Structure 1
């Protein structure tokens, strides 16, 4: 593999992952497929790229392609890729649970909103970039104690404790 192919692979692979994380699944598919063309599909990186492709296919709604590729990856030469493909395949082939409409929260599609339109960014927090300094941690202040106000009288506790210890020990000696 040439260094030119490796650089193109790394660029496309990172772009594909970034697009996937931003929710741009069709772009992610394009980048990841181009990355896969520039690396050995049976290598560790090739397997990792194909696992990303499976998740991108599934996210883009191409479940059949995802399942087909995932079945192929269960026979991959790299052990971790095989194990991960088996786990993903179990998820893809799992039965779809029925849900009631009142259990589902509808999330609006934000793909049509342009990022440059200021009226669409209301409340996004991009307007205020000024940060306040972090609060200083509070240190406990030591109190100065006046020695004349300290109770120094003997409260007889030590003598009571000694008497109880002597009585306990003599009782143990007496009964043994």
Structure 2
């Protein structure tokens, strides 16, 4: 019976981690909660499951549950679990910084777009080619251009030859 319980725990724990890594956070919470019921919570493995559960709660936008469980884990018997939970708690409770709108890119929601809009956005269908707007090219004032020879090309060529000579001589 004990091995059956351990096997069920391993299955739920692995499913919880797998679904978390795939971005299915609510499903991950369900699997990890089942796994935490099948293991001694005071053990190192029980602490690991609960740490995963804290991160799944946070990812599933269940911040109160994440904070509550993380605070409980700061008193866990295993020192590594206590250390991890304190770090997680610090991150979870950190204030959210506001980002300027210029830093953000808006992604349009295309799920509500009509079929005709979707076709025109994807480029398929009968669409007319758009002409680029004509722009006038401004003439360049040659009196503003520096035409004085600054010997850069000669310096660069000599430097390249010195490097190649050094490589051949040393190689």
Aligned residues: 112
Quote how far apart the aligned CAs of 1:13 are: 0.2
Quote how far apart the aligned CAs of 1:72 are: 0.4
Query: Partner of 2:100 in structure 1?
Result: 100
Query: Partner of 1:164 in structure 2?
Result: none
Task: State the TM-score, normalizing by the size of structure 1.
Answer: 0.59
Quote how far apart the aligned CAs of 1:108 are: 7.2
Query: Partner of 1:49 in structure 2?
Result: 49
User: Of Structure 1 and Structure 2, which has the larger fraction of its residues in helix?
Assistant: 2
1:19 aligns with 2:15: no
Query: Partner of 1:58 in structure 2?
Result: 58
Per the alignment, do residues 106 and 80 of structure 1 end up closer, same or farther by CA in structure 2, a change over 3 Å counting?
A: farther
Quote how far apart the aligned CAs of 1:106 are: 4.2
Query: Partner of 2:90 in structure 1?
Result: 90
Task: State the TM-score, normalizing by the size of structure 2.
Answer: 0.61
In 2, Cα distance between equivalents of 1:107 and 1:75: 43
Per the alignment, do residues 83 and 26 of structure 1 end up closer, same or farther by CA in structure 2, a change over 3 Å counting?
A: same
Per the alignment, do residues 94 and 10 of structure 1 end up closer, same or farther by CA in structure 2, a change over 3 Å counting?
A: same
Residues 99-138 of structure 1: matches in 2 within 5 Å?
99-106=99-106
| Aligned-residue RMSD, C-alpha | 2.3
Quote how far apart the aligned CAs of 1:101 are: 1.8
Runs of 4+ aligned structure 1 residues displaced above 6 Å come to none
Where does structure 1 lack aligned partners over 5 or more consecutive residues? 110-176
Is the partner of 1:99 in helix, strand or coil? coil
Per the alignment, do residues 73 and 108 of structure 1 end up closer, same or farther by CA in structure 2, a change over 3 Å counting?
A: farther
